[in-house]
A and B are shown apart, each in its own frame.
Chain A
């Protein structure tokens, strides 16, 4: 049975790596990281468990915080509230979770499952349902798998507790939960629909916590040695370097509750004279180089600070920033026809046939 202790240093790496896998969205993991540092100082510990070690009839709790990143900067997520959302799900269903799993490894939610796990003394499963961050609840591997989209619990730190007991589709899960979240003040701790061990093994995306830690570790080591952090990422991940440049224009607009827009870049180094644009809906969705669509969801498009190697988010990217754009391979499940229906370019309103940068 491989259960591994997660060290305080692993969590530092996880925060850096999860932010990179956030592909522009998902929120900066800085505040969850602060929570974990405090919990580890107080003696709490979390273990990591492989999905393959789950029994088929085990139950797994899926943890996520919902809400506007801006609200999360004022109402700082409390680890006990996340734990309460999970405990409420256990009370409601009568299951006892063998482990907890992140809904999305990308961004702040990639660290939040550890916050709940620390209080509940359960392991965190080394898997998630996005392999990155995505803006909507139906953009998960378990939604692609057509798994049951309910029940869901949502908790507010003031003691408000809601249960979404039954909905017909994942789109309804998203709609109803979003409404609750808005009433709470645009932030809610949620436990997503529980999964059996068999479902996790078949449908989750595996090894993603380890992957985020490896990416973060590579970046932090490169920073320490004053090496090229982007090269360090590409040494541990089969990614592709797409572009180096600087931000020359950022256009943002809020539509239907999402931050959409486009960032334009001017090339540097080998890309001097070459232009890039990246369209986003919270996350980076489609990258065009000199007019040609060269990378698109579900390929992971990561915009990194060229010097530090750390992720640059769509909410905070600004003029003049020096960035390096890389692509990381997508989870295989999103490459199926059904997967592409959920997260391919057309799911975001781009009339493009999906073409991976990893297909030569």
Chain B
């Protein structure tokens, strides 16, 4: 297996080659304004290390290029490059008083809301139709969308995670009127919770144009580099989707950067169950690896102020990093950071702002900048600052732990020097080689997943879980997994209060290796 992993971050674009289970090469290049150039540059610098060629000078066969990007979440947070969306909800007469976009921040709603249509349709919790789908009303709505010039459509329907047939039929009817429409069905994004699922669908539809352009740019960059390999985009849950599917569901890559770091940490350390601390320039993310994957947030996650509910890693972010401001009396670290201006504003680099990196330079932990400029910082002072950083890390780790005993901790990221070798509640601290490129490594090793989350009635718990697993397996295969490599990484079942007939909601997630093309 030979894969290239690329992480397109806000500051740097990292690229690694993983070959026969080892990191064969790793490079960093500045992220560029236009996506293609940045990726092409990083692939060129990776090629310049010589790792992409055979001893006889021929380009090696690459099985896949896996790209992780914060492009899509940044577009939502910064309110840029968003497309106007037609919201079509099936479920009248229910839920009418809370129409689509009803709980969005005003500014974002004004940018994205192209129009709202609500028609009869939807299902009950047990799969009975709530109302028959009003097909004539859907077609009439589509004609109004076309007149309004809307080409991006988000369709939601009551209880569609249980029965997506109304959403699918409505999508066909809309496509018949607007053949080039980009349509997102909320059932493709999972979970029970109409508003949150619908919100995720509307955000996804708002990213339709950006997604098409960005993924085309990724493909062009790979093409231009001369590497003949399929493109995969990494997802929030540490898996990848092939480019075609990822183009349709850009929201699934929202949190992929942090996830990739954690997956990379697992891979580089060889540990599948551990805590991970990823110390960047401004913030530190703490999460927990279970069976090699980040534990998932099973609750509402706000994206750009919008409540959503779909696969996201459970992370705690604190204001601690290599660029964090330091004050000495009393000792305080962060949350403000010099960020990407570290090499200009840090004292060791001739600037005015004392940072954690200056402390590390003064105490000889890092060999950067000019040590003479920080010679006034004595050993005791440095120790106090490190102790404060360690205290912050310890608290964050303890908050994210789910068991009482000591657990191993993997420290990655450019600011990992702030994490001491010993911490209370931690059995051992592991620093790994290539830890500063953990995110690109995580991208390179990503797998393919499938998920099922629905309510089963009148079945034994075991049969319900088996049925859910079958559905999840089929979905993983549809997403590009090799069936024989599939295994369960998460299985959760919850009996439902008030519902008759022994109802149980089962959520199963499986992963498998990317099938050889």
- A pairs with B: yes
Return the CB mask of B286-302 against A: 1 if under 8 Å, else 0. Answer: 00000000000011000
A17 to B410, CA, bound (A): 41
Please determine whether B497 and A157 come into contact, CB atoms closer than 8 angstroms: no
A31, A253, A257, A320: the one within 8 Å of B402 (CB): A320
Return the CB mask of A145-163 against B: 1 if under 8 Å, else 0. Answer: 0000000000001100000
A79 to B95, CA, bound (A): 9
Across the interface, which residues of B come within 8 angstroms of A67, CB to CB?
Answer: 498
Please determine whether A158 and B102 come into contact, CB atoms closer than 8 angstroms: no
A70 to B497, CA, bound (A): 8
Interface window among A94-102, A165-173, A233-241, A311-319: A311-319
Q: Is the CB of B131 closer than 8 A to any CB of chain A?
A: yes
B124, B192, B194, B499: the one within 8 Å of A76 (CB): B194
Report A53-89 residues with CB < 8 Å from chain B CB: 67-71, 73-76, 78-80
| Given A73-B192, A257-B500, A258-B497, A31:B98 Cβ within 8 A | yes
Please report whether the interface of chain A is mostly helix, strand, loop or mixed according to DSSP: mixed
Report A134-193 residues with CB < 8 Å from chain B CB: 157-158, 178, 181-182, 185-186
Q: Is the CB of A50 closer than 8 A to any CB of chain B?
A: no
| Given A70-B192, A74-B194, A38:B298 Cβ within 8 A | no
B94, B193, B494, B496: the one within 8 Å of A68 (CB): B496
| Given A157-B93, A316-B299, A252:B494 Cβ within 8 A | yes
Residue of A nearest to B195 (CB): A76
Residue of A nearest to B161 (CB): A74
Return the CB mask of B186-198 against A: 1 if under 8 Å, else 0. Answer: 0000001111000
A73 to B193, CA, bound (A): 5
| Given A75-B130, A315-B497, A322:B98 Cβ within 8 A | no
Report B286-328 residues with CB < 8 Å from chain A CB: 298-299
Q: Is the CB of B217 closer than 8 A to any CB of chain A?
A: no
A282 to B98, CA, bound (A): 26
Across the interface, which residues of A come within 8 angstroms of B403, CB to CB?
Answer: 248
A31 to B497, CA, bound (A): 19
A296 to B98, CA, bound (A): 37
Q: Is the CB of A34 closer than 8 A to any CB of chain B?
A: yes
Q: Is the CB of A254 closer than 8 A to any CB of chain B?
A: yes
Q: Is the CB of A335 closer than 8 A to any CB of chain B?
A: no
A31 to B159, CA, bound (A): 17
Please determine whether A75 and B192 come into contact, CB atoms closer than 8 angstroms: no
Chain A interface: which size bin? Answer: 35 or more
Report B96-144 residues with CB < 8 Å from chain A CB: 96-98, 102-103, 124-125, 128, 130-131
Across the interface, which residues of B come within 8 angstroms of A71, CB to CB?
Answer: 125, 499
Residue of A nearest to B123 (CB): A74
Return the CB mask of B153-182 against A: 1 if under 8 Å, else 0. Answer: 000001100000000000000000000000
| Given A71-B125, A158-B93, A38:B400 Cβ within 8 A | no
Return the CB mask of A260-274 against B: 1 if under 8 Å, else 0. Answer: 000000100000000
Please determine whether A182 and B500 come into contact, CB atoms closer than 8 angstroms: yes
Across the interface, which residues of B come within 8 angstroms of A8, CB to CB?
Answer: none
Closest CB of chain B to A137's CB: distance in Å?
13
Chain B interface: which size bin? Answer: 35 or more
Q: Is the CB of B226 closer than 8 A to any CB of chain A?
A: no
Across the interface, which residues of A come within 8 angstroms of B131, CB to CB?
Answer: 158
Across the interface, which residues of A come within 8 angstroms of B499, CB to CB?
Answer: 68, 70-71, 182, 186, 254, 257
Closest CB of chain B to A273's CB: distance in Å?
11
A253 to B497, CA, bound (A): 9
Across the interface, which residues of A come within 8 angstroms of B404, CB to CB?
Answer: 248, 266
A319 to B403, CA, bound (A): 9
Q: Is the CB of B284 closer than 8 A to any CB of chain A?
A: no
Please report whether the interface of chain B is mostly helix, strand, loop or mixed according to DSSP: loop
Please determine whether B194 and A73 come into contact, CB atoms closer than 8 angstroms: yes
A35, A158, A258, A282: the one within 8 Å of B97 (CB): A35
Residue of A nearest to B497 (CB): A259
Return the CB mask of B397-420 against A: 1 if under 8 Å, else 0. Answer: 001111110000000000000000
Please determine whether A74 and B497 come into contact, CB atoms closer than 8 angstroms: no
Across the interface, which residues of B come within 8 angstroms of A69, CB to CB?
Answer: 497
Please determine whether B98 and A75 come into contact, CB atoms closer than 8 angstroms: no
Across the interface, which residues of B come within 8 angstroms of A266, CB to CB?
Answer: 404
Please determine whether A257 and B497 come into contact, CB atoms closer than 8 angstroms: yes
Residue of B nearest to A39 (CB): B97
A226 to B452, CA, bound (A): 40
Please determine whether A78 and B95 come into contact, CB atoms closer than 8 angstroms: yes
A185 to B125, CA, bound (A): 7
| Given A68-B498, A71-B125, A259-B495, A157:B94 Cβ within 8 A | yes
Return the CB mask of A310-353 against B: 1 if under 8 Å, else 0. Answer: 00000110111010000000000000000000000000000000
Across the interface, which residues of B come within 8 angstroms of A258, CB to CB?
Answer: 497-498
A319 to B500, CA, bound (A): 28
Closest CB of chain A to B147's CB: distance in Å?
27
Please determine whether B94 and A75 come into contact, CB atoms closer than 8 angstroms: yes
Please determine whether B158 and A74 come into contact, CB atoms closer than 8 angstroms: yes
Please determine whether A68 and B401 come into contact, CB atoms closer than 8 angstroms: no
Please determine whether B125 and A68 come into contact, CB atoms closer than 8 angstroms: yes
Closest CB of chain B to A65's CB: distance in Å?
12
A132 to B158, CA, bound (A): 30
A316 to B300, CA, bound (A): 11
A235 to B272, CA, bound (A): 46
Please determine whether A79 and B500 come into contact, CB atoms closer than 8 angstroms: no
A76, A78, A254: the one within 8 Å of B496 (CB): A254
| Given A73-B193, A254-B495, A254-B496, A78:B96 Cβ within 8 A | yes
A282 to B93, CA, bound (A): 29
Report B348-404 residues with CB < 8 Å from chain A CB: 399-404
Closest CB of chain A to B137's CB: distance in Å?
16
| Given A70-B125, A75-B130, A158-B131, A253:B97 Cβ within 8 A | no
Across the interface, which residues of B come within 8 angstroms of A181, CB to CB?
Answer: 498
| Given A73-B192, A74-B158, A322:B500 Cβ within 8 A | no
Across the interface, which residues of B come within 8 angstroms of A185, CB to CB?
Answer: 124-125, 128, 130
Residue among B94, B131, B299, B402 with the highest chain A CB neighbour number at 10 A: B94
A144 to B505, CA, bound (A): 36
Q: Is the CB of B152 closer than 8 A to any CB of chain A?
A: no
| Given A70-B192, A158-B131, A319-B402, A34:B494 Cβ within 8 A | no
Across the interface, which residues of B come within 8 angstroms of A31, CB to CB?
Answer: 98, 195
Return the CB mask of B72-95 against A: 1 if under 8 Å, else 0. Answer: 000000000000000000010111
Please determine whether A34 and B102 come into contact, CB atoms closer than 8 angstroms: yes
Q: Is the CB of B503 closer than 8 A to any CB of chain A?
A: yes
Across the interface, which residues of B come within 8 angstroms of A316, CB to CB?
Answer: 299
Known: A74-B193, A253-B495, A318-B299. 18 other contacts (CB 8 A): A38-B97, A68-B496, A70-B125, A70-B192, A70-B499, A70-B505, A71-B499, A73-B193, A76-B194, A76-B195, A78-B94, A158-B94, A158-B131, A181-B498, A182-B500, A185-B130, A254-B504, A266-B404
The 10 closest A-B pairs by CB, nearest first: A254-B495, A259-B497, A68-B498, A76-B95, A319-B402, A185-B124, A75-B94, A78-B97, A320-B402, A73-B193
Please list 21 pairs of residues, one from A and one from B, whose beta carbons are closer than 8 Å in the complex, sorted by A's number: A31-B195, A34-B98, A70-B497, A70-B505, A71-B125, A75-B91, A76-B94, A76-B97, A76-B98, A80-B96, A158-B93, A185-B124, A185-B130, A186-B499, A248-B404, A252-B495, A254-B502, A266-B404, A320-B399, A320-B401, A320-B402
